[in-house]
Structure 1
């Protein structure tokens, strides 16, 4: 666990506990928040480190990934909500599968962002969270709306897009979901590295999405791929 960032800042600083096992993502988020004078940031890379950090004063904001090396972020959200009801909690995740979305929200998350859909100014997003808003990635919001309107007694919405992907596009999307690079995908499928971005643009267009995370989420919801 890293040392507390922001020592010496004025009283009233917003304390943030950032829990993210992927080092580049953790550094990027940390730098974006620590660069704003009102934030005091502590980072953790595992569930154990996060629990240790929570033995101190309650953070005003918890930003957590779900897939951690030694457990699931939903456990951390549940524990934090029970111990610190006033803490604002936002999920930062690579995939928005149905079970994780609903579980995280049910146990206390008030915001849910896909990593590939981070807003340009994450500091402004955290300010919104503290102000009482619930920042949610567009694809997550659409899923929640569809699920709500599909409850008994309500007419379910039709699928967002019934266009099916080609077998090649399915293969490429599965590679994206597994976190492979474009070069890896091309190598596995016997394609030219230069042709993969064109296939991905086609996938985005058919699924009506703009990011890798949203594409995977939509494909999972439409039953086009399984992980």
Structure 2
């Protein structure tokens, strides 16, 4: 994933400065533009004026929530990847953010090196999830799967091509890498990805993999 333009939204000056520093240190070999915003309104204004590859979004903002902002992005700039970086780890907030379209969820209280590793995974097309949150998601999977009878056929039908692409997504490959692996154009992969999102009723790569596994479509 090319990270040439990044928007960081956080109303806490110290947290904002820390994220700007981490991103700057990570992308020293790239010409990266970093914009910052301290509210939902100022973030939307920047999103309407500029194109960004990635948005790092705080959960609590003075005039709204990160979930609201991610939802707005999904409607107006769906190609933009958004990752929540928050001090809040409540399950309700986490799942609401992922359903809204967030590509990942990180916790502010992690060490710099942990956040740097998570951000680096974005460059490889990954979907960074804090390990503690990932464990919570995994612990809930049996609860989600229990009502589904073993012989039942999933109500969502994905084509063989879509399943293949989703399997590559689950392995952390980005659209460009998947296109190269399958010998297809990136636009074709993006079109298939949109169809997968529509069929699974999700808004992000993370949510698509989670729903597909819950339905038994992926191992």
Per the normalisation by structure 1, the TM-score is 0.58
The answer on 1:106 being equivalent to 2:99 is yes
Partners of 2:90 and 2:19 lie apart in 1 by 23
Partners of 1:88 and 1:130 lie apart in 2 by 11
Please give the residue correspondences for 1:45-124 in structure 2 after superposition, counting only pairs within 5 Å: 45-120=38-113, 122-124=115-117
- SS at 1:113 equivalent: strand
Which has the larger Rg?
1
Please give the residue correspondences for 1:60-209 in structure 2 after superposition, counting only pairs within 5 Å: 60-120=53-113, 122-151=115-144, 153=146
Partners of 1:89 and 1:42 lie apart in 2 by 14
- SS at 1:81 equivalent: helix
Deviates more, 1:127-136 or 1:45-54: 127-136
CA contact (8 A) 2:56 2:83 kept: yes
> What do you get for the CA RMSD once the two structures are aligned?
2.1
Q: Residue 180 of structure 2 aligns with which residue?
A: none
Deviation at 1:13, TM superposition (A): 5.6
Unaligned runs of 5+ in 2: 149-219
Deviation at 1:25, TM superposition (A): 0.8
CA contact (8 A) 2:86 2:106 kept: yes
Partners of 1:63 and 1:118 lie apart in 2 by 17
The answer on 1:29 being equivalent to 2:22 is no
CA contact (8 A) 1:88 1:129 kept: no
1:14-67 per-position Cα deviation (integer Å, ceiling 9, x unaligned): 211000111101001112212433232101111111011111232100100111
Structure having the larger proportion of residues in helix: 2
Q: Residue 184 of structure 1 aligns with which residue?
A: none
Unaligned runs of 5+ in 1: 1-11, 156-227
Partners of 1:60 and 1:118 lie apart in 2 by 24
